[in-house]
Chains A and B, each alone.
Chain A
Amino acid sequence: SRPRSSLRVLSDAQHSGLTLPTVSHYRLFPKALGRLVAALGVRELHLALTQGFWRTRYWGQPPLQAPAGAELWVWFQPTVTDVDKAWKELSNILSGIFCASLNFIDSTNTVIPTASFKPLGLANGTDHHLLRYAVLPREVVCTENLTPWKKLLPCGSKAGLAVLLKAERLFHSSYHSQAVHIRPICRDASCLAVSWELRQTLTVVFDFFSSGQGKKDWSLFKMFSRTLTDTCPLASQSKVYVDISPKNKEKELLEVSPAPTSVHEAIVQGDKKTYAVYDLLSPSLFNTSRSLNVQLKWKRPQDTEMPIPTLHAQRYVGGYGLQTGEICTLIYNTHPYRAFPVILLETVPWYLRLYVHTLTIITKGKENKPSYIHYQPAQDRRRPHLLEMLIQLPANSVTKITIQFERALLKWTEYPPDPNHGFYVGSSVLSALVPSVTAMKDMDVEQSPLFASLFPSSDGSSYFVRLYTEPLLVNLPTPDFSMPYNVICLTCTVVAVCYGSFYNLLTRTFHVEEPSRGGLAKRLANVIRKLRGVPPL
């Protein structure tokens, strides 16, 4: 497999607000987030900051994908009366906590999806008016976002797996995504009390094939320039999983060192996987050497590709010129014999005027009618387009969805800095229950936090996948911003020149000219003669 490291840190805390409404005591849960959740009536919060794009086609199904830029979706409590105000306040505070430009979230990029995002924790109702979703595709994620994220961990970056997270290595990668998920969960099996769960995930893709002279071998030290020395004393579990799944029935293609504590087999997202597990809490691991540097070596050079995932998608802008264009989305279902439905959520800014009558969905040369469609047209400068569709994908098919748009003209103050770079259109979201190729057993799923997905799995025959397509970059007709100043300069100069000559004409007195002292040549000659000491002409 492509050297891919996926690391998740899980912390769980109890939050008590029972005795006094204004008192709250935090043990592991970070106070900054806890206060936010309590003060603004948040039921569920999902924030992801991502740099780069997850190439599903080549890298396989992501554990938890996020769109490029910043993504925030929040479910509020039913007690919140003014959800828009709470949403605005929340995004402002989060932008302070995570040093991100989340304060640019406003009504022009916020949508209320009806079907794509369901609460992932305990929830009584799913009234989607309590949901807000926004993506900022322009957001650049860097060190200043990672530091506050690390600060939320109970041990910070002082101990445990988090010592590996050095910013200068993490951002030299093909994909970097950090996320915070807060949701209410059952405190125990009987579910009489509710706890808040904070899940922090970090996904990084290192590409050693291109940076490491064609070798795919990797080690922890090579990736992070650190090794693991201890665990966070507060952790109840601290494990490193390495995917060593054999491919094409060929075994022993790769080897890991040192010897793993155990080997774990599980069915993840419809595929049977084998993991080498290093349990950092087991005392035997640090007996031989003081630090753990997991290494993976390929026994012989091989270039087997990842199997193509069952569901993947592609999106691009078509058309030419600066007036009209077309958004094309291609959705692939590579399952050999099973069809399944997928929910597509498309959010398009208001300055691209969508023409819904041009919406065409074509599968295998025939028109494919969506079974559910929800469209909310945009209002200029107030809200974006929202298009949600439930589309049936036949087995082994490609579905092409196209919709045409017209580019609007913006006011000159509405252009962002560097407008010729283009305008981003956020990723569209695909949510689907994908039938698995291998039958899954429910038991496997719950065993470790890595596999206990955020998403509920309905039954053994299918699993939930949420994919994001590429963000789009669209060029809008851009005015010449220096034009007003040029016009001012030009007109002013013309006016001044006219004024000058009129003024001269009106104020000058005219005389009959007396014979002059001579031309320029004569005066020059006189100067030279004077220098030579010869009397002037």
Chain B
Amino acid sequence: MAVVFGPGSVPGDLPRPLPFRDVQEMEISVNLRTSVTSRYEMRFRSTTAQEEAALAAATAREADAALHPLQNTALGSLTMYVLPETSSLLPQGTNVYVGKHRSALVRAGGSLAALQARLREVTQVMSFTASSIAAALSDRVPDGQLSPDARRYLKSSLGYEITFSLLNPDPKSHTVDWDIEGAVNRYVKPVLDKLSLVANFSVDSQILYYAVLGVTPRYDKESSSFLLSAHSLPHVINPVEARLGSSAASLYPVLNFLLYVPEHSHSPLYIQDKDGAPVSTNAFHSPRWGGIMVYNVEAPASPQASLPLHVDVDMARVMEVFLAQLRLLFGLSQEEVPPEFLLESPGNEGLADWELDHLLWAHTVENIATVSTTLTSLAQLLDKIGNIVIKDDVASEVYRAVASVQSAVTELSLGHLHGAFQASKEAVTSSERAFFDPSLLHLLYFPDDQKFAIYIPLFLPMAVPILLSLAKIVRETRLRKKEPTKMD
């Protein structure tokens, strides 16, 4: 992290003259045995002439654009520009401006201690927080301690399949057309291009007819519309799910985005939240599964209008909702941002550079945790079945996984996010390949208790004389103990 002091913003109580380096460490404890240490290496320096010129721009957005070519663009790095308290670059009331890329403008805030606290807040927004790390390691966190949001995020995977489905339960009344190809190219593709660093994505779409929701909506007389209440939403998905078509051709998790055009007899249909107010987007999402949006068709002007009605879906409106849900599912919500922060909108790409870093930090940590879990359970399996055969290729996959995890951890501690993420991905691939190797199926091995059962016809009759003679020996020793008293 580079902290760049603009002219007139250097706090008076700096310990050393600029430039200097400083390291901050913080331990985040996940459970009794696991903890993650975060380490920030900060370089304090003053602005160069070019940066000064860029900071002289009229608005924060222009300054951010002008500063971008001057920065370190490595993944995971951050640049903070400290502005004087009186700077007019930031609007009144905001102390921090987070740009589109990997930089932020921060008001000096008087003393060094105040600046340090503010910088820490900024870095947590832009890289990771204790809660985002806990969410990534959610398998290891005790149940009660996890925020409900953490369960929403998708598990880290090497790839994702995104499926857009148009559900038309009433093709007799509506013929629905959607320009999904254009919409995917215009709205989804830029986001996925940016996310391609994180995983492989494939996108497809389908239209399903006669696919109905699992809940009959309630008719509301006042608004003459149909309502789906929040507590019935969990039951909506099941019957649709069966029609969606499994991803038979790949093993990646599927993200489903459904656009539901209600039946003619059930429209308009609105979703109610817990308080009974209609949801403005008319959409909801299901954690780790995807999202559903209800798209109401305007009633025809005259009731005699001939069925079926032709409907052209407004893709901009739909994709806005779906992309917001996609961000939510990847854990890129901005709910935790303190009020004095101003975030630049990421524009057409739908994702700022630092948000990508945020995702990569979390996924790298999660991958490392996954690999260690996989290898541990493999080791447990080997402990349980002694005579299991480990082939050379399985062994080499295990070695590779361990080496990759170690290099990922090293890279991570050095702050090389990109290298660490690549290494953690390789580790996941190798460890899964080793774990799911068909030769390691425990059913292939004959359990010892069954071997014993087969030899019972031998052991049982042989045991009878031995046991009888043991009983006899016991009886005789008892007799012998009594005998001397008898003799006397």
Contact = CB atoms under 8 A, between A and B. Distances in A.
Interface in A1-55: 16, 19-20, 22-28, 30-32, 34-36, 39-40
Identify whether the interface residues of A are mostly helix, strand, loop, or mixed: helix
B472 to A, nearest CB: 9
Nearest to A38: B249
A234 to B, nearest CB: 6
Nearest to A27: B207
A31 B249 contact: no
Nearest to A156: B210
Interface string B233-253: 000000000010111111000
Interface stretch (A70-78, A321-329, A487-495, A511-519): A487-495
B308 interface: yes
A510 interface: no
A26 B469 contact: no
Given A25-B180, A26-B207, A96 B248 contact: yes
B474 to A, nearest CB: 14
B209 interface: yes
26 contacts: A22-B201, A25-B184, A25-B205, A26-B207, A27-B207, A30-B206, A31-B204, A32-B248, A34-B204, A35-B247, A36-B249, A93-B248, A96-B246, A155-B210, A158-B209, A230-B172, A233-B175, A233-B308, A488-B458, A492-B461, A493-B461, A496-B461, A497-B461, A499-B461, A500-B461, A504-B465
A362 interface: no
10 tightest A-B contacts by CB? A496-B461, A492-B458, A492-B457, A158-B210, A32-B245, A39-B249, A26-B206, A22-B202, A233-B171, A31-B206
Given A19-B181, A492-B457, A503-B469, A26 B205 contact: yes
Q: Which bucket holds chain A's interface residue count? A: 35 or more
Contacts of B189: 20
A150 to B, nearest CB: 11
Contacts of A20: 185, 189, 203
A437 interface: no
Contact of B248 (A27, A35, A156): A35
A344 to B, nearest CB: 35
A497 B460 CA distance: 11
A489 B459 CA distance: 11
Contact of B172 (A96, A233, A489): A233
Interface string B173-184: 001000011001
Contacts of B180: 25
Contacts, number: 107
A24 B469 CA distance: 80
Interface string A146-162: 00000100111011000
Contacts of A337: none
A488 B248 contact: no
B455 interface: yes
A359 interface: no
Interface residues of B, number: 37
Contacts of B461: 492-493, 496-497, 499-500
A488 B249 contact: no
Contacts of A284: none
A507 interface: yes
B204 A19 contact: no
Contacts of A24: 204-205
B123 interface: no
Contact of B457 (A158, A493, A499): A493
A236 to B, nearest CB: 13
A485 interface: yes
Nearest to B212: A158
A97 interface: yes
Contacts of B250: 39
A499 B459 CA distance: 11
B434 to A, nearest CB: 21
B458 A495 contact: yes
B466 interface: yes
Contacts of B469: 503, 507
Interface in B423-473: 454-455, 457-458, 460-462, 464-466, 469
A27 B181 CA distance: 12
A23 B202 contact: yes
Nearest to A490: B457
A129 B201 CA distance: 33
Interface string B11-45: 00000000000000000000000000000000000
A32 B247 CA distance: 7
Nearest to B192: A22
A15 to B, nearest CB: 11
Given A22-B201, A233-B171, A495-B458, A97 B248 contact: yes
Nearest to B204: A24
Nearest to B308: A233
